[in-house]
Amino acid sequence: MINDTSASFAHEYREGDPEKVTLLLLHGTGGDEHDLIPLGERVLPGATLLSPRGQVSEGGALRFFRRHAEGVLDIPDLQRRADDLATWLRDQIATRSLPPRVVAVGFSNGANIATAVLLRHPGLLAGAVLIRAMMTYTPDPVPALHGTRILVSSGRADPLVPAAQVDALHALFTAAGAECSVVWQHAGHGLAPGDLVAMREWLATF
């Protein structure tokens, strides 16, 4: 286990089986680089884990990008910080000789920046698990994401992400050529046991 601040993102790294994928773990608002490590260990035992810390502080709560208010995102900041994260990830892949197939596992704010990385850097991620993701913006042009696999896990009682946004996100990824599946949990915005089951089953196919 390594915790350091190289390449501008404090992060936690755990080396795993080189035959498995690398899980890029992206925490939600108020989390840090430690939050999703236990989740990664549970849903894909033996995988390489790479978990960066968000660089934005909102009243002391860490995030990956700024927002103007709840549900009102700072899109230019989201795009810039997604580019920074992509650059850092490429450096980590090269310097650590990580398993090259990287799957993002993002929760809430982490899922939203994972979405931006998918849209702005097609091909960098082999796939993504997006837990409680919202529709952030529509890129022009829509990138080509053929061969990219995406699982969106949403809560039917989520007060922050209406079903219409989940439908729009699914439509965007499908239009981009990604293989996108949506699973609905009997949950609100927080993680639920069904999320772990869905992730474990989906990741086992990589």
Where in the chain are the domains?
2-203
CB neighbours (10 Å) of residue 182?
16
Q: Which residues contact 24 (CB under 8 A, 6 or more apart)?
A: 50, 51, 52, 89, 102, 103, 104, 105, 114, 125
Residue 131 reports pLDDT greater than 60: yes
CB neighbours (10 Å) of residue 91?
14
How many alpha carbons lie under 13 Å from residue 51 in its C-beta half-sphere?
A: 27
Asked about 108 being catalytic, the answer comes back as: yes
Over residues 142-198, the pLDDT tens digits come to 999 999 999 999 999 999 999 999 999 999 999 999 999 999 999 999 999 999 999
How far, in Å, CA of 158 to CA of 132, rounded? 8
Asked about 186 being catalytic, the answer comes back as: no
Q: What residue ranges in 127-202 does DSSP mark as E strands?
A: 127-131, 149-155, 179-185
How far, in Å, CA of 193 to CA of 66, rounded? 29
- Asked if residue 12 lies in contact with residue 55, where contact means CB atoms within 8 angstroms, the answer is no
Tell me what pLDDT residue 8 has: 83
Tell me what pLDDT residue 2 has: 40
Catalytic residue among 27, 35, 108, 195: 108
Homologous superfamily (CATH) of 2-203 is Alpha/Beta hydrolase fold, catalytic domain (3.40.50.1820)
Asked about 4 being catalytic, the answer comes back as: no
**Residue 99 has which token pair?**
């398993």
Catalytic residue among 35, 153, 158, 195: 158
CB neighbours (10 Å) of residue 160?
13
Over residues 36-92, the pLDDT tens digits come to 999 999 999 999 999 999 999 999 999 999 999 888 899 999 999 999 999 999 999
Residue 6 reports pLDDT greater than 80: no
**Residue 31 has which token pair?**
């989390």
Of 114, 206, 116, the closest CA to residue 153 belongs to 114
Amino acid at site 130: L
Of 46, 61, 58, the closest CA to residue 16 belongs to 46
How many alpha carbons lie under 13 Å from residue 75 in its C-beta half-sphere?
A: 9
